Amino acid sequence: MREFRREPLRNGEPERLLAACATDFERAAIGVLLETGLRRAELCSITEEQVDWAENRLRVVGKGDKRRVIPLSPAAEQALRLWLSLPRLRAPMIAVNRAVAVAAERAGIAGVFPHRLRHTFAVKCLKRGIGLRTLQLLLGHQSIATTQHYLNLSPEEVIEEFREKWR
């Protein structure tokens, strides 16, 4: 049985993962997941109608039919445009799992699966100063307690942040 790791990717690993992508499908899936924090099922169900390109935002219908809006960074917009240009697959969620696993193997990063990219997005938001309540809304969580599960940092990241801010 695979070990479930709540830790985000470490410094430099998201870039290594993206650099290891060999196909547009891998690049698009991983790029959108890393830049938006979407769940795998949400990624696979995105349609062009959900995107407001003029306002750089994505309307998502998540778990429990909860609706939320996700702003698109330039990197997210680029990955999303690529994702939407690709032909639709019969089993997209399995294909996303495989794309993430294969790219991670090429990058030499163990234990990477789509939900870990969601954790990576959450920690990146917090490191950039996005508040916990805003992150809750971006991730589509009903409870702030659920959002707090995404706040795991590696010991190295804790030490690094402490040293940066304790000057």
Which pLDDT score, from 0 to 100, does residue 3 have?
Answer: 44
Domain 13-165, what architecture?
A: Orthogonal Bundle (1.10)
Prediction pTM value: 0.89
pLDDT at 2: 43
The pLDDT value given to residue 6: 65
- The CA distance from 58 to 80, in Å, is 10
Residues 6+ apart with CB under 8 A from 40: 33, 93, 96, 97, 114, 115
Query: What is the structure's pLDDT at 113?
Result: 94
Active site residues: 39, 63, 115, 118, 141, 150
Q: Domain limits of the chain?
A: 13-165
10 Å CB burial of residue 148 (0-12, 13-18, 19+) is middle
Which is nearest to 4 in space by CA: 152, 156, 115? 115
Mark the ranges of the chain whose per-residue pLDDT is less than 50. Answer: 1-5
